[in-house]
Amino acid sequence: MFDEIEFERMKRLPKYVFAEVNAIKMKARRAGEDIIDFSMGNPDSPTPKHIVDKLKEAASKPKNYGYSTSHGIYKLRLAICSWYKRKYNVDLNPDTEAVATMGSKEGYVHLIQAITNQGDTAIVPDPTYPIHSYAFMLSGACVHTFELVYDNEFRLDEDVFFQSLIKTIRETIPKVKYVLVNFPHNPTTTTVTKEFYTKLVSLAKKERFYIISDIAYADITFDGYVTPSIFEAKGAKDVAVESFTLSKSYSMAGWRVGFIVGNEKLVGALKSIKSWLDYGMFTPIQVAATIALDGPQKCVADVTKKYEKRRDVMLEAFGQAGWKMDKPNASMFIWAKLPDIALHLGSLEFSKQLLIKAKIAVSPGIGFGRYGDNYVRIALIENEKRIRQAAKNIKKYLNDLQEEGKGKEIKKRKQD
């Protein structure tokens, strides 16, 4: 019916690569198979008790049942600003420089909707967390990319980054308005130094673009690495906003709480669009989120330790199974190069085979951009026992792949 009515905006979205792998996973699960699932960055730990208790208490008070404030209750915005002060010694105004959002994804998408004009240009390094570019595309912007280059300890090659960024800015018409950065990076886990932001802020002022920084994994760091904030760079508030989420640090993914802070003009635009679109999160959730940010932070250290231990177990067990991986020092992922023997498959086919033959779900790197195709992203959301089981399955799969390769070689030689 009504074939002439088309949804042009939806056509800007490419085919969702992850959906293909997901469909295989769901089919296998429905058939009763046990799939070891490393595909999504969905924390498996329970939200800390003191936060859940606060939600229960706040949810028992009828005064909290009405519409809330779309940009966040004052106490939560105050807690967000205290979090920045404590962690980064950054001063923020809770009224003009902070917005609480329904998870950082909602905040990001609505910010982009509010600030993008049709035909604007934005730069998003590749690979990327998909919504970083699709939010711009959905809003009518043109996204330009360049390859994110990092070393084997997942430290950004900052010189190459700035060369590529400057080249892309010079080549892009109309002039670039927005640059997205996300460190620790999803999916590659790449990290940066404080100096990176000083240079980026200074370039933004010179070239006149705004920066949107996403530090969703700021707390999940290992081996002494500390995530810097863009606001540690002098004058960053003139040109930047930064987002953070409670999803990862406090295992609150389903609660949908995050925030965006910084530049008044951008924060103001987000506040304004939200005032049209929503009535804010359920107040008890905001009260509990305030306690998460202001309360004891041991839970953050505990969850970080858990991911760190899983990282170590995975590197060791998968390595012994024949799949050597580089060690990340942040985030809840391992960005694993395909084993040599499987490189020719590409990340999508490899992920499908892992699912079907080894009963393991991972995210194919191609889903994060064209420079991701030699990799898969493995989320550390299964326990150590299941990680070791996955390693056993992988060992068998890789052996079979090798035998298959030998078989093909013999057949080919015979034909020759």
Ligand X SMILES: Cc1ncc(COP(=O)(O)O)c(C=O)c1O
**Binding footprint of ligand X on the chain (CB under 6 A):** 41, 103-105, 129, 182, 186, 214, 216, 245, 247, 253, 258
Q: Nearer to ligand X by C-beta: 244 or 323?
A: 244
Q: Shortest distance, CB of residue 201 to ligand X, whole angstroms? A: 20
Cβ proximity to ligand X: between 215 and 338 the closer is 215
The least distance separating ligand X from the CB of residue 101, rounded to whole angstroms, comes to 8
Of 263 and 331, which CB lies nearer to ligand X in the complex structure?
A: 331
Contacts with 241 (C-beta within 8 Å, 6 or more apart), sequence order = 111, 210, 211, 212, 213, 260, 261, 262, 263, 266, 267
Minimum CB separation of residue 348 from ligand X in Å reads 20
Residue whose CB is less far from ligand X, 201 or 246: 246
Q: Least distance in Å: CB of 88 to ligand X? A: 18
Please report how close the Cβ of residue 333 comes to ligand X at its closest, in angstroms: 9
Strand-pair category, 98-101 with 363-364: unpaired
Smallest gap from residue 413 Cβ to ligand X (A): 47
Question: Contact 213/200 with Cβ under 8 angstroms?
Answer: no
- Nearer of residues 189 and 317 to ligand X, judged by Cβ: 189
Measured from the CB atom, the residue of 161 and 255 that comes closer to ligand X is: 255
